[in-house]
Structure 1
Amino acid sequence: MMEKMDALRKLISMYPSAIAAFSGGVDSTFLAVVTHRILGERFLAVTAVSPTYPESQLKEAEELAVRFGFPHQVIFTDEFDDPDYINNPPERCYFCKRSLFRELKRIAGEKQFAILLDGANVDDLSDFRPGHRAASEMKVRKPLQEVELTKAEIRELSRQMGLPTWNKPAYACLASRIPYGRIITVEALARIDQAESFLISLGFQEIRVRDHFPVARLEIGQTDLEQAWKLRAQISAKLHELGFPYVTIDLDGFRSGSMNAVLPKELTA
């Protein structure tokens, strides 16, 4: 792990300057802090805001930038202007990432940053991630992948560095809660965001509210399933209030990327 860390520092030190997509999650925070410590003011972290990105996540990202002192810019992306995105095909993430990286490239040109960075780790290569194609097309570098850092190693290195995100639950954009083929709407995303915020307020960490409207399918970490059952009346009442006629708890628990289970194997292989 430490050899990979040394390789990462060496790799980043070779960049003349860099601009990175920064969500405030485990990977992007680790990459931002390490890159800033090496490049200083020759680095810029950019957070893209849209209806798919909860306001609570933006607040955390801004607080992290202030705490660790790296330059930070917030932008607004236009994926909702793209019918290929809102129609929600299996390649949805490609269209979203394409919008993001186009904007990063524009900013890099204006402010003269040489390298575009993304915080994908080596574990991401084993999952269905259409956004990788957009990164390749836009010549975005993925230094964590290049030195073969895993998610577990990034968490441990983050812990050693004192980053508060080291044990932050995995997060994906709110659109990932909507089944492929169903139109993505701002209203649906807001409903999902409010439902998940409520569950977090109850103390749950690993959660997803999958919006199979009129059904809400709750994925909750295995260790918290019993607690969720105990609170089922409270949870159900709140989600009914948010507009879900039916509320279910998935017995398989939390599964990152579970919406991909219905895709053909040849697409996800």
Structure 2
Amino acid sequence: MSLLAKKRVVLELLRRSVGAQERLAVAFSGGVDSTLLLALAREALGERVLAVTADSPSLARAEREACRRQAAALGVPLRFLATREHERAAYRANAGDRCYHCKSELFETLAREVLGRDGVAAVAYGATADDLGDHRPGMRAAQEHGVLAPLLEAGLGKEEVRILSREAGLETWDKPAQPCLASRVPYGQEVRPEVLERIDRAEALLRQLGFRELRVRHHAQPLGGPIARVELPPADLPRALEPSRREALLSGLRALGFEFVTLDLGGLRSGGLNALLRKLPVVTGEPL
């Protein structure tokens, strides 16, 4: 099927997702996939669209503002919905199914506070065909709650999403993947709000130093503060070692409470921690 044909399928699915007087809520993270979905929903349904962004410690503050800006640019009202996944013991334990508990919290909160109000009759999210080949336990939560996935149903992959985004003039067309902050914590180590805040501030520091694609992995230790394992694209590694940037990076991350600062020579690997998936005891030895 051609890319244009897939786009038409998405638009038709969106038009059929709600009744003529009803509205669709789009779970909106501000990433490439959900931004395209929101734009296509606006095209298909006009003003009968609501963007909903889960607002919790796992959302980077810069991403919160990006959601506000992008929704406004598309002319879609945005609601920030407070979610409390960090109050769920299974989420904090950070086993391989953490995303399932996070998405369950989101979709249950949507069902409780958004669905059935102000004409909202359905919820859609930005899963794509490529997500089927990755570790995505959150997709199970979406299926359990009847959440629609029009991009996935039309067979759109991530590169196709970027092409359509560029054609639509969306600023996110070349945006680096930006998964939630909890993805920086190795499986088996406890996810806590203060840990997520430290990661958010650490990654904001790297962006201030001129890096665009990055991860700061947060490794707790039984004794002392955590280790920051910085991942950058291989081409950016020499820049990180320039004396002025190296000193700013080292002093800035230490000021945030990191005991050691390391630069991963393997480079940036989105989803790299999935290679470590296994049941591990929760590590809680890091001081607050």
User: Considering the TM-score relative to the shorter chain, is it more than 0.5?
Assistant: yes
TM class by shorter chain equals over 0.9
Rounded to whole Å, the distance in 2 between the matches of 1:128 and 1:21 is: 20
Q: CA RMSD in A?
A: 1.2
Rounded to whole Å, the distance in 2 between the matches of 1:104 and 1:42 is: 17
Deviation at 1:81, TM superposition (A): 1.6
Deviation at 1:114, TM superposition (A): 2.2
The number of aligned residues is 264
Deviation at 1:110, TM superposition (A): 2.4
Tell me the SS of whatever aligns to 1:70: coil
- Given candidates 74, 88, 91, the residue that maps to 1:68 is 74
Tell me the SS of whatever aligns to 1:110: coil
Query: Residue type of the partner of 1:220?
Result: L
Tell me the SS of whatever aligns to 1:165: helix
Larger helix fraction of residues? 1
Aligned-pair identity in percent equals: 45
Rounded to whole Å, the distance in 2 between the matches of 1:186 and 1:12 is: 36
Deviation at 1:41, TM superposition (A): 2.4
* Correspondence 1:1-269 to 2 at 5 A: 1-16=3-18, 17-106=23-112, 107-213=114-220, 214-230=226-242, 231-264=245-278
**Gap runs ≥5 in structure 1:** 265-269
Corresponding residue of 1:267: none
Rounded to whole Å, the distance in 2 between the matches of 1:137 and 1:229 is: 47
Query: Residue type of the partner of 1:75?
Result: L
Rounded to whole Å, the distance in 1 between the matches of 2:85 and 2:149 is: 22
Rounded to whole Å, the distance in 2 between the matches of 1:31 and 1:100 is: 18
TM-score by length of 2: 0.89
Q: Indicate conservation of the 8 Å contact 2:61/2:200, yes or no.
A: no
Deviation at 1:232, TM superposition (A): 2.2
**Gap runs ≥5 in structure 2:** 221-225, 279-288
Rounded to whole Å, the distance in 1 between the matches of 2:141 and 2:17 is: 21
Rounded to whole Å, the distance in 2 between the matches of 1:159 and 1:224 is: 25
TM-score by length of 1: 0.95
Rounded to whole Å, the distance in 2 between the matches of 1:86 and 1:160 is: 40
Q: Indicate conservation of the 8 Å contact 1:19/1:113, yes or no.
A: yes
Deviation at 1:54, TM superposition (A): 1.4
Runs (4 or more) in structure 1 with deviation over 4 Å come to none
